[in-house]
């Protein structure tokens, strides 16, 4: 009898001492309008010149993710100075912006200082254009890209990331994959090739998983045919990354969102509504 009482008491103490399992933080995902890009010569996205005589309007997309009380902004769009700029359809490529990121955040009652993390898929100007509006955020960027930015490599404008290049804001260069919040809900996926440190983003919500491709591909036909822009940093890495992204999407049953594909805008709720 006494043994049984001791055993019961021990079990009770173990239950009391065991840490409670934390409930998963609620996640929300918004798509922000980060511009329009007129690709007037679509061969810019094919080193095989597969699109001779074709043009296409692409979208600029940024994404806001709320994880518990923390906010991650994925990509920072075209420079705010391009707001209201008329598109020139006679040059190879041009771009314009309707609303800034900060203006759209304000519609959600947020200010730039509410952004905890600024995740960047890669260093091209249409993805870092408004980054400097968020100097209080920790910059998450592929190490290969951050090294290129600091070195002033061709095709890079370090001024757009000045707070982090100068060291006045915190940068956290990412090598390989990165579980941003430590619970598997938001993961930067190493996908080099477009640039040396290019990343995609896997977002696992309660009602579905989304894979934001960065610029691993720029539009659906490009994605389906494994098209490679001539200006990519590595053709072999691009093809390997595309294969990895496609397999990951299949394995995770993820909805693929090609960030420049206009048709993919409808895969997420219309702002200011969010996916959860």
Mean pLDDT by 10 residues, the chain (276 residues): 39 38 78 97 96 96 98 98 95 96 98 98 98 98 98 92 98 98 98 98 97 98 97 97 98 98 97 97
Q: How far apart are CA 86 and CA 95, in angstroms?
A: 8
Nearest to 254 by CA among 216, 218, 213: 213
pLDDT of residue 66: 98
Sign of CA dihedral 46, 47, 51, 56: positive
Q: Report yes or no: 133 and 101 within 8 Å, Cβ to Cβ.
A: yes
Q: Are strands 70-74 and 56-67 parallel, antiparallel or unpaired?
A: antiparallel
Q: How far apart are CA 104 and CA 19, in angstroms?
A: 40
Contacts of 18 (CB under 8 A, 6+ apart): none
Burial label for 75, CB within 10 Å (0-12, 13-18, 19+), is: buried
Nearest to 216 by CA among 206, 226, 205: 226
pLDDT of residue 258: 98
Q: How far apart are CA 136 and CA 238, in angstroms?
A: 32
Vertex 36, ends 46 and 174: CA angle to 5°? 70
pLDDT of residue 155: 84
pLDDT of residue 192: 98
Could you tell me the pTM of the whole model?
Answer: 0.90
Cα dist. 119→97, 178, 207, 220, 233 in Å?
20, 11, 23, 23, 20
Which superfamily does CATH assign the domain made up of 24-267 to? Ribonuclease Z/Hydroxyacylglutathione hydrolase-like (3.60.15.10)
Chain CA centroid to CA 45, Å: 20
For 140, other C-beta atoms within 10 Å of its C-beta total 21
Q: How far apart are CA 125 and CA 108, in angstroms?
A: 25
């Amino acid at each position: 009898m006494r043994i049984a009482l001791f055993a019961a008491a021990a079990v009770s103490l173990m239950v009391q001492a065991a840490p409670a399992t934390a409930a998963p933080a609620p996640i929300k995902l918004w798509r922000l309008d980060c511009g329009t890009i007129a690709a007037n010569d679509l061969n810019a996205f094919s080193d095989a010149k597969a699109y001779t005589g074709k043009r296409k309007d692409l979208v600029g997309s940024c994404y806001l993710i709320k994880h518990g009380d923390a906010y991650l902004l994925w990509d920072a769009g075209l420079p705010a100075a391009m707001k209201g700029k008329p598109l020139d359809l006679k040059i190879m490529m041009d771009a314009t912006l309707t609303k800034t990121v900060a203006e759209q955040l304000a519609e959600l009652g947020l200010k730039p200082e509410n952004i905890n993390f600024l995740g960047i898929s890669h260093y091209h100007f249409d993805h870092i254009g408004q980054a400097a509006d968020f100097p209080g955020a920790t910059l998450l960027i592929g190490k290969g890209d951050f090294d290129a930015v600091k070195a002033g490599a061709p095709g890079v404008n370090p001024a757009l990331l000045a707070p982090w290049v100068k060291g006045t804001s915190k940068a956290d260069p990412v090598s390989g994959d990165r579980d941003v919040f430590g619970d598997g809900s938001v993961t930067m996926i190493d996908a080099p090739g477009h640039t040396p440190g290019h990343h995609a983003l896997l977002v696992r919500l309660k009602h579905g998983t989304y894979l934001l491709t960065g610029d691993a591909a720029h539009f659906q036909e490009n994605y389906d045919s494994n098209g490679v822009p001539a200006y990519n940093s590595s053709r072999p890495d691009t093809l390997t990354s595309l294969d990895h992204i496609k397999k990951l999407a299949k394995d995770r049953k993820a909805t693929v969102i090609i960030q420049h594909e206009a048709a993919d805008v409808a895969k997420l709720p219309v702002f200011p509504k969010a996916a959860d």
